Structure 1
Amino acid sequence: MASDEHSKGGVYSVPGKEFTRDTKYIDDRITADGSSGWPVEAGRYRLVAARACPWANRTLIVRRLLGLEDAISVGLPGPTHDADSWTFDLDPGGVDPVLGIPRIKDAYLKRFPDYQKGITVPAIVDIPSGEVVTNDFPQITLDFSSQWRRFHRDGAPDLYPERLRDEMDDVMQRVYTEVNNGVYRCGFAGSQEAYDAAYDRLFVALDWLEELLTDRRYLMGEQITEADVRLFTTLARFDPVYHGHFKTNRNKLTEMPALWGYARDLYQTPGFGDTIDFQQIKAHYYVVHKDINPSGIIPKGPDLSGWLTAHGREQLGGRPFGDGTPPPPVRADEQPPSWVH
């Protein structure tokens, strides 16, 4: 997510215009054969991923599901930041204990002294040099699946199955443009006309997903894939943030039976809900977006206990991890402070 939702942080909202996201990411990759110049090496890289950010949340989930905790360490900025950068304000002294920096911007400038694009998370930093490697969030998780295989845990699921990739890519693209980015298109619309169009697009897509998930347990069928990870992080934020803050208020997630059941199914699956901190999520959006919420007041609601209620999705069949197994319990030092469990 951007450090400034309107300018250098990665997205743009122009009065009278439709919201547009800046997608000029650092597209370097960390590869198994090292041909990219950044070879896969356990312990060399640090993932910087704020729990508040839906794009960063994806990387935390995939890292958990694949069992990459020992291979790739994680730095966790706090939920709020200034217009300049995400900061490590949750760490002692406000400094990341591995990188030794107070803000992720420092890693960007270490590599690119004149860096002019968005200072975003997730980002992967090369620990020896202190330089950012990539912030290309869609590719980071795919590379966790494909390039880091020798460090996957025993029983790790196949999140990007070869046989499903063509269909998956189409589904993920629609989920991204219409849902993941669609809520932002509503929230940062520059005019009534732009908002109305964005609102209609979003709910056309949510109705499509509601129908799709009525008789299938996961987006691609009988097991969890990368597509589910990408949709889940938006659904987890829908009622706490997007419904009110971004005015996506035709209905709540809890009023869409299939999507609400699907979201609870995933939340209660190891690797998903145990990466979520609803308090950090609300703090980020309601405090940082001063133009949308000038008071900075964080709503007390909604009631989040429903995430732990029975979802009944087992009757649709399937096995969440396919031929694999669930990840072990989340590490004590990586548990979200306000995890609902």
Structure 2
Amino acid sequence: MWHLMMSQLAPRNQSGAYVRPSSQFRNFISTAVDNPYQPAIGRYKLYVGLGCPWAHRTLVVRALKQLEDAIAITIVSPSPTEGGWVLNQPELGCRSLADLYELAQPGYSGRCTVPVLWDTETNTIVNNESAEIIVMLNSELNQFAQQPALDLYPSDLQKKIDAWNEKTYDAVNNGVYRCGFAQTQAAYQEACEELFGALDEIDAALETSRYLCGDRVTLADVRLFTTLFRFDVVYYGLFKCNQRRIQDYKNLGPYLRDLYQLPGVADTCNLEAVKQDYYGNLFPLNPGGIIPLGPDITNLWEPHGRDRLSNIR
């Protein structure tokens, strides 16, 4: 029974390891002459779930760049009874994210995930891959940002950012899911060892570097942050990632506090939504649906001391 429920929640390979399906909408906003999705203020919006770490990335970039006036958001919530995301208020005749995907592509049969970058002019999905959406928010809508000088993907650091992203995606961002959704002991153990091996490596790198790529916060930090924020709250217990907490690390703990305290970032972090989404909706992992009362995350406002590593004052 458990394997049947898990197969519906998380696709697996023959060894019992979780395999994340690829995103299917991969168009881009750009100024290319033949591109139908041209940069514009107010034309695009984001559909996000506050508990989802992938959607959270887009909210963090939107906040750091101060793009709130340029791109609206619609919050969707997970419904265990409907088995997917639902809109808090109907839009465009849609009451669920599945309806929205059907509107964008009639007959669509894939996964209906957040975030969704939506074009209000043509009523379709531009992109549903968070890694690509945050690049667009950083560059293609920069002319509408109130913080245009903040470049989270600068050309001189792109190779280093890409290298960190490749390292952290499989082992950490998706690694926690590979632990939590593993359906054999061997698959879980392999994922868990890779996860904490990567965290140890990152912690060592942060000994002499304020952020992953030096003195400047980049998309590599954004992508790691949304996993770290959820780690002690959810992944440590529910996903069995319990060798160490992030706050137990010498450098990762202060690094998390540093990112959390950047202007606007804390406002994108909704602890109760995170707990509700994971503990309340992942029935095979938490059949009782009981939501834990803790933890207290006020420690994220404690001094981080990371500015001593930065040449920026």
Q: Matches of residues 322-337 of structure 1 in structure 2 within 5 Å?
A: none
Give the direction of change, closer, same or farther, for the CA distance of 1:100–1:156 in structure 2 (3 Å limit). Answer: farther
Question: Counterpart of 1:13?
Answer: 12
- Residue number in structure 2 paired with 1:199: 192
* Distance (whole Å) between structure 2 residues aligned to residue 53 and residue 183 of structure 1: 13
> Are residues 1:244 and 2:243 paired?
no
How many angstroms apart in 1 are the aligned matches of 2:295 and 2:210?
26
Matched with 1:221 is 214
Change (3 A) 1:200 1:42: same
Scaled by the length of structure 1, the TM-score of the pair is 0.85
Change (3 A) 1:241 1:151: same
Deviation at 1:82, TM superposition (A): 4.5
Match of 2:257 among 254, 264, 267: 264
Quick one: distance in 2 between partners of 1:287 and 1:224?
33
Pairwise CA distance, 1:150: 1.7
Looking at structure 2, the residues matched to 277 and 303 of structure 1 have their Cα atoms a distance apart, in angstroms, of 13
- SS of 2:162's equivalent in the other structure is helix
Which residue matches 1:335?
Answer: none
**Correspondence list, 1:291-310, <5 A:** 291-310=284-303
Stretch deviating more after TM superposition (280-289 or 300-309): 300-309
2:27 corresponds in structure 1 to: 28
Note the residue ranges of structure 2 that are not aligned, 5 or more in a row: none
Q: Counterpart in 2 of 1:273?
A: 266
| Paired residues of 2:142 and 2:148 also in contact (CA < 8 A) | no
Q: In the alignment, is the contact (CA less than 8 A) between 2:64 and 2:147 conserved in 1?
A: no
CA contact (8 A) 2:30 2:38 kept: yes
State whether residues 80 and 281 of structure 2, in contact with CA within 8 Å, keep that contact through their aligned partners in structure 1.
yes
Higher share of residues assigned strand: 2
Judging changes above 3 Å, is the alpha-carbon distance between structure 1 residues 149 and 48 closer, same or farther for their aligned structure 2 residues? Answer: same
Change (3 A) 1:63 1:115: same
Structure 1 ranges of 4+ moved more than 6 A? none
Gaps of 5+ in 1: 321-341
Normalised by the length of structure 2, the TM-score is 0.93
Indicate which of 134, 155, 178 corresponds to 1:141: 134
2:112 partner SS: coil
In structure 1, the residue matched to 2:90 is 95
Tell me the distance in 2 between the aligned counterparts of 1:179 and 1:87.
28
Tell me how many residue pairs correspond in the alignment. 309
SS in 1 for 2:237: helix
Q: Partners in 2 of 1:34 and 1:280 — Cα distance?
A: 41
Deviation at 1:173, TM superposition (A): 0.9
Distance 1:85 1:41 in 2: 30
Distance in 2 (alpha carbons) for counterparts of 1:126 and 1:278:
29
Structure 1: which amino acid aligns with 2:309?
Answer: L
Is contact 1:43–1:71 with CA below 8 Å preserved after alignment?
yes
Letter in 1 for 2:52: C
Say which is worse superposed, 136-145 or 29-38, in terms of deviation. 29-38
- Relative to 1, partners in 2 of residues 1:300 and 1:286: Cα closer, same or farther, differing over 3 Å? same
CA deviation profile, 1:156-204 (whole Å, cap 9, x unmatched): 4110010111111011111111100000000000100110111100000
CA deviation string 1:209-256 (max 9, x = no partner): 110111211000001101100000000000000000000000111111
Partner of 2:65: 66
Does residue 160 (structure 1) correspond to residue 153 (structure 2)? The answer is yes
Q: Distance in 2 between matches of 1:7 and 1:191?
A: 12
